[in-house]
């Protein structure tokens, strides 16, 4: 199982859509370049917001063509891992801060057939992942404090991504670096340059009047950065 089908992905975050019609909202971001939907699961304890459960994941799986990137922001993530994989998570991301035995849970996710991601809050050091980096399919760097769409990007996230990208290269690690929170046309190119390859986008897509145009704008910003890097290498 490989994450790197495309070299990079934009993952629309359905949390930023209208909660009363999520399947319809998912269809509104259906352009060929989009492979995954990002689904934020919040329990009102781990973060100050309450959102979607396994039935919503099941419904999105059944009624859309997207793979699902499920981001758990809940207290009892360990207990809920099998439930969300059964519901249809293709990538399951848990928070480093939210589980006691991270190594065990990463391997449980993989054994149950999903790709394993771990997320870090803005205040959490990369060092906390040092000994599990080779086990991971994905590291999700939170660029806002988790809980809501539409918050401002926290600048220190950029350096965190750069450092992780250096570690990844040094160790030859396979993991993909995903960024979530405050990502938009103004910073997506810089985050690509820093080393991120999966870009979660909530408000930058769903709060826009033309969502498909908004996605194309984000893709264009990444492609401009790739072209710039290419021209630097000549």
181 binds, among ligand DX5, Zn ion, none (CB under 5 to 8 A by kind): ligand DX5
- Determine, following the binding rule CB under 6 A, whether residue 195 of this chain makes contact with ligand DX5: no
Q: How many CA atoms lie within 13 A of 17 on its CB side?
A: 20
- Given the DSSP bridges, would you call strands 198-201 and 138-142 parallel, antiparallel or unpaired? unpaired
Sign of CA dihedral 196, 202, 208, 212: positive
Query: Residue 92 or 183: which CB sits closer to ligand DX5?
Result: 183
- Determine, following the binding rule CB under 6 A, whether residue 185 of this chain makes contact with ligand DX5: no
Query: Residue 71 or 211: which CB sits closer to Zn ion?
Result: 71
Residue 80's H or E segment, with its range, is: helix 77-87
What long-range pairs does 205-214 form, CB within 8 A, spacing at least 24? Answer: 205/10, 205/12, 205/13, 205/16, 205/29, 206/12, 206/13, 206/14, 206/16, 206/17, 206/25, 206/29, 206/149, 207/16, 207/149, 207/150, 211/12, 211/28, 211/29, 212/28, 212/29, 212/31
Q: Which member of 64, 78, 96, 149 binds ligand DX5 (CB under 6 A)?
A: 149
Residue 59's H or E segment, with its range, is: helix 54-63
Least distance CB 54 / Zn ion (angstroms)? 16
- Determine, following the binding rule CB under 5 A, whether residue 40 of this chain makes contact with Zn ion: yes
The residue from 40, 43, 69, 90 that is catalytic is 40
Piece in contact with ligand DX5 (CB under 6 A), picked from 92-100, 124-132, 177-185, 208-216: 177-185
Query: Residue 25 or 40: which CB sits closer to Zn ion?
Result: 40
197-216 residues near ligand DX5, rule: CB under 6 A: 200-204
Is 40 an annotated catalytic residue? yes
- Determine, following the binding rule CB under 5 A, whether residue 71 of this chain makes contact with Zn ion: yes
Query: Residue 105 or 180: which CB sits closer to ligand DX5?
Result: 180
Place of tokens 């930023």: 16
Is 171 an annotated catalytic residue? no
- Where do contacts with ligand DX5 occur on this chain (CB under 6 A)? 13, 15-16, 38, 40, 71, 144, 146-151, 180-183, 200-204
Catalytic center residues: 40, 180
């Amino acid at each position: 199982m490989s994450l790197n089908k495309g070299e990079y992905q934009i993952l629309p975050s359905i949390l930023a859509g209208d909660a009363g019609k999520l399947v319809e909202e998912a269809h509104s971001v259906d352009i060929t370049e989009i492979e995954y939907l990002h689904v934020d699961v919040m329990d009102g304890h781990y973060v100050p917001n309450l959102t979607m459960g396994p039935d919503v994941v099941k419904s999105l799986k059944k009624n859309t063509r997207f793979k699902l990137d499920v981001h758990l922001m809940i207290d009892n993530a360990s207990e809920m891992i099998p439930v969300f994989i059964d519901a249809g998570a293709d990538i399951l991301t848990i928070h480093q801060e939210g589980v006691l035995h991270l190594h065990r849970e990463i391997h449980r996710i993989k054994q149950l057939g999903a790709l394993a991601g771990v997320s870090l809050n803005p205040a959490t050091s990369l060092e906390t992942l040092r000994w599990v980096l080779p086990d991971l399919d994905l590291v999700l760097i939170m660029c806002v404090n988790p809980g809501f769409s539409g918050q401002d990007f926290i600048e220190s996230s950029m350096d965190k991504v750069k450092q992780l990208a250096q570690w990844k290269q040094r160790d030859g690690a396979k993991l993909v670096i995903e960024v979530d929170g405050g990502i938009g046309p103004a910073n997506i190119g810089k985050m690509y340059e820093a080393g991120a390859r999966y870009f979660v986008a909530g408000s930058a897509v769903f709060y826009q009047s033309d969502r498909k145009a908004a996605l194309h704008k984000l893709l264009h910003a990444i492609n401009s950065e790739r072209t710039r890097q290419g021209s630097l290498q000549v």
